Amino acid sequence: ATIEALADTVRAAESVVAFTGAGVSTASGIPDFRGEDGLWNRYDTNDFHVRRLRADPAGFWVDRLDLAEELAADVGPNPAHEALARLEAAGHLDAVVTQNVDGLHRAAGSEDVIELHGDRSRVVCLDCGDRSDAEAVRERVRDGERPPRCDCGGLLKPDVVLFGEQLPVGAMQRAQSLARGADVFLAVGSSLSVEPAAGLPRTAAAHGATLAIVNLDETPLSDRAAFDVRDDVTDVLPRLADRVV
């Protein structure tokens, strides 16, 4: 009944914005951070801090090779990504704001995707800002180039936001403007625990959006959500899209 009511609300809304976290990609085989098998149970977050990259760039890159290999397995979008793409194509979703760096929303066909934490398939030069393919650089690291450097001599960094770094300003501004204008703000597969991205659902609610949360676990905003669906996104989002479209 909740999903039907949420679908009616989405269909009637003028502006619907989705905000996604690692939980939309677990069904694709990508671990989340704070769920049961989350990465932060296995990794020290200090190793993902920009301080660590600056202090020991070679070690930083070498330490990530195993994880990169695990994540490089052939992954593709799952029914949750596909449902969001379907909602957008049908004109019932303005944009997907994502904290994920896996590129799976675009792979599923979502067109307006705002990536707040970057894209792990690229690297960026810390000096000249040039971006290039990450797998080619990881190959160079495997072959012994440590740390990998840009043609300009600058240090290369995975093009993802590390702890201690700012979010990309343009992406965050766009996300905030979408949050302020949303009639329905659909937060899915995120623990909603990491600032500043997690401030977006609060901003949306403060500007009058109906807040809907789909997540296996409770979140700090669950109490404030008009719809609080504690269930699997790969089940809920396709049912929602079926009902709306």
CB-nearest residue to ligand OAD: 23
Nearest approach in angstroms of CB 73 to ligand OAD is 17
Contact 114, 67 (CB under 8 A): no
With 0-12 / 13-18 / 19 or more C-beta atoms within 10 angstroms meaning exposed / middle / buried, residue 133 is exposed
Which one among 11, 146, 232, 243 touches ligand OAD, defined by CB under 6 A?
A: 232
Task: Residue 175: name the closest of 117, 114, 119 by CA.
Answer: 114
Contact 84, 101 (CB under 8 A): no
Which one among 52, 105, 117, 120 touches ligand OAD, defined by CB under 6 A?
A: 117
Nearest approach in angstroms of CB 229 to ligand OAD is 9
Q: Does 199 bind ligand OAD (CB under 6 A)?
A: no
Greatest Cα pair distance, the chain, in angstroms, is 59
Annotated active-site positions, please?
A: 117
Chain centroid to Cα 7, Å, comes to 23
Q: Does 103 bind ligand OAD (CB under 6 A)?
A: no
Nearest approach in angstroms of CB 40 to ligand OAD is 7
Contact 87, 112 (CB under 8 A): no
Site for ligand OAD, residues 27 to 46, rule: CB under 6 A: 27, 32-35, 38
Residue numbers at the binding site for ligand OAD (CB under 6 A): 21-23, 26-27, 32-35, 38, 99, 117, 161, 189-191, 193-194, 215-217, 232-234
